Chains A and B, each alone.
Chain A
Amino acid sequence: MPEPFSSSTTHRAGSGPDLPPLPASATELGHLLQRVATGDRSAFAKVYEATVPKLLGTVLRILNNRGWAEEVVHDVYIKIWQKAGQFDAGKASPITWMVTIARNSAIDELRKQPARGRAPEEELEQVLSTEPNAQSRLEDQQTVNRLNLCLEELEKDRRDMVRMAYLNGWSRVDLATHFDQPVNTIKTWLHRALKQLKGCLSP
């Protein structure tokens, strides 16, 4: 499998002239993270500036509660400060690494307190109305397009399940309630959808 994020700095032009400039390229962010690993506060401030809207957007979409989301993002940046030395550019782009920390933290919090501040059915319109990807700002546009093409190949329900889970943090149980299916059926559907995606994305 090719390195999907390895060329994310070189495709800005492909994003189109209408988009605001990138806050920082992947290469710049990677260098800043290396400085953060040495305890450089000014580099940390720059990383924060460049990435906090994305991370807060990610966490807020999962938790659906502004105050809670900022608490989690606070802790996420503490983790980034402490773990910057573990960032491995060979495994992920800097923004993917940070979004992964943010998503994992948000989903862990949500699983601990599922009732706090969310109403899954109300989010639904947002999930379903968002076109699979409009813009690419921090990632390689080709990689994004490729995933979107593969998602399009899934049945609509399966595609919605994957997006609700990834973007909104829905658990198997949430999905079972929404689709009015037993949890085991949801699990089976998820596995089929994931395998189909994997097959579609493999070279």
Chain B
Amino acid sequence: MTDRDDLDMLAAEFVLGTLDARERASVAMRRHSEPDLEALIVAWEQRLGPLAEEVVPVAPTPGLYKRIEQKINALEEKQARSTHDDNDRVISLHKRLRRWQWSTALASASAMMLMAVLIFQPTQEQGPQSFVAVFQENDQQPAFMLSVDLTNRQMHIRPVTAEPMQGKSYQLWIKADSLGPNPRSVGVLNENLKLDRTALRSYDPELLKEATFGISVEPEGGSPTGQPTGPAIHGYLYPTLDGESGQQL
């Protein structure tokens, strides 16, 4: 008997239902990562499916649908609440962030003031992979907002109160432990204060979640040294739900 036959019989018994709990759980797990196994299972479901024809239909008790609907309502409320909780987490992260930004970041890079970053991680496993960082100037108004979608590694930076400056450029930096002690340039914002949406594409999503971002003011065209040289704007966390510009935390 070949391995292929063994796999086919495993699929057949999974569909037939004769495996024990442990074997069933193992096949249920494996089918997600083994397309061959998945295809064999689907083929057996097609072969044996007509057997279900002889099942005699049974009317449910009248309250069953209502219970199902109530459960769906409860699940949807829970989901809405957990989105709200995420926003609370963003706010609580803020304190930790501020402490951090003035110690670690400043200590490691002399000429620059890397500002902060944010980025929050949704608690829902299947939740959105969207993160937002707000860059604050003078602790007053947000200067820029950066949103990052980890699923397709697209980023979008938009100025809030920041204005183009004559003879100067804004430059976006990323800093993460795995990238070494120094910030790395993500790119120089153009005259409309925009940056290519794919500028973060080469970074691993896990790294992006941990990374710190900063925006510094540089000579026109970007830093001549490869490191931030000018004053930096610092970051601040904002909720994403009612997170339009200008809301003070």
Give A134 to B46 CA distance when docked, in angstroms: 19
**In the complex, chain A residues whose CB is within 8 Å of the CB of B49:** 4-5, 92-93, 96, 99-100, 139, 143
CA distance A150 to B248 in the complex (A): 72
Q: Does A132 contact B (CB under 8 A)?
A: yes
Among B9-17, B134-142, B234-242, the stretch that binds chain A is B9-17
A53 and B18 within 8 A (CB): no
Identify A78's interface contact among B9, B59, B61, B75, CB under 8 A: B75
**Interface mask (B135-164 → A, CB under 8 Å = 1, otherwise 0):** 000000000000000000000000000000
Q: Please, how many angstroms separate the alpha-carbon atoms of A135 and B45 in the complex?
A: 19
Complex interface: chain A residues within 8 A of B68 (CB): 48, 74, 77-78, 81
Residue pair A92, B21 in contact (C-beta under 8 Å): no
The answer for the CA separation of A161 and B220 in the assembled complex, in Å, is 79
Given A107-B24, A171-B18 in contact, is the A57-B64 Cβ separation under 8 Å? no
A169 on the interface (CB 8 Å rule)? yes
Task: Give A175 to B20 CA distance when docked, in angstroms.
Answer: 12
**Taking CB as reference atom, which chain B residue is nearest A103?**
B17
Q: Name which of A26-34, A117-125, A194-202 contacts chain B.
A: A194-202
Report yes or no: B16 in contact with A111, Cβ–Cβ below 8 A. Answer: no
> Is there a chain B Cβ closer than 8 Å to A154's Cβ?
no
User: Which one of A57, A78, A112 contacts B57 once the chains associate, using CB atoms below 8 Å?
Assistant: A57
B47 interface residue, CB < 8 Å from A?
Answer: yes
21 pairs, A vs B, C-beta closer than 8 Å: A53-B58, A58-B52, A70-B61, A73-B60, A73-B64, A77-B68, A96-B49, A104-B28, A111-B24, A139-B53, A144-B53, A147-B48, A163-B51, A170-B17, A171-B18, A171-B20, A172-B20, A175-B18, A194-B13, A194-B16, A197-B47
Closest chain-A Cβ to B180's Cβ sits at a distance in Å of 42
Nearest 3 Cβ contacts at the A-B interface: A53-B57, A111-B21, A144-B50
Cα distance, A125 to B65, chains bound together (Å):
32
**Interface check B106, CB cutoff 8 A:** no
List A contacts of B47 (CB < 8 A). Answer: 4, 147, 197-198, 201
How far apart are B144's CB and chain A's nearest CB, in angstroms? 35
B42, A53: Cβ atoms closer than 8 Å: no
Are A190 and B13 in contact, CB atoms less than 8 angstroms apart? yes
- Is B60 in contact with A166, judged by CB distance below 8 angstroms? no
A167 contacts the other chain (CB 8 A): yes
Is the pair B9, A194 in contact by a Cβ cutoff of 8 Å?
yes
A158 CB-CB contact with B under 8 Å: no
Binary interface encoding of chain A residues 108-139 relative to chain B, with 1 for a CB under 8 A from any of its CBs, else 0:
10011000000000000000001111111111
Which B-chain residue is minimally distant from A174 (CB atoms)? B18
A37 at the interface (CB under 8 A from B): no
- Size of chain A's interface in residues, with CB distance under 8 A? 66
| Interface size range on B against A | 35 or more
User: Is chain A's interface secondary structure helix, strand, loop, or mixed overall?
Assistant: helix
Contact partner, A134, options B16, B54, B65, Cβ 8 Å: B54
Give CA–CA (A56, B61) in the complex, Å.
10
B72, CB-defined interface residue at 8 Å: yes
Determine whether the beta carbon of B54 is less than 8 Å from that of A45. no
Q: Is the CB of A56 within 8 A of B60?
A: yes
CB closest chain-A residue, reference B69 = A41
Q: Kindly list chain A residues whose C-beta atoms are within 8 Å of the C-beta of B61.
A: 70
- CB pair B60 A52 closer than 8 Å: yes
A74 and B71 within 8 A (CB): yes
The interface residues of chain B lying within 8 Å CB-to-CB of A108 are 21, 24
B54 in complex: contacting residue of A77, A133, A143, A172, CB < 8 Å:
A133
Cβ-defined contact, A45 with B24, below 8 A? no
Kindly list chain B residues whose C-beta atoms are within 8 Å of the C-beta of A190: 13, 16, 18
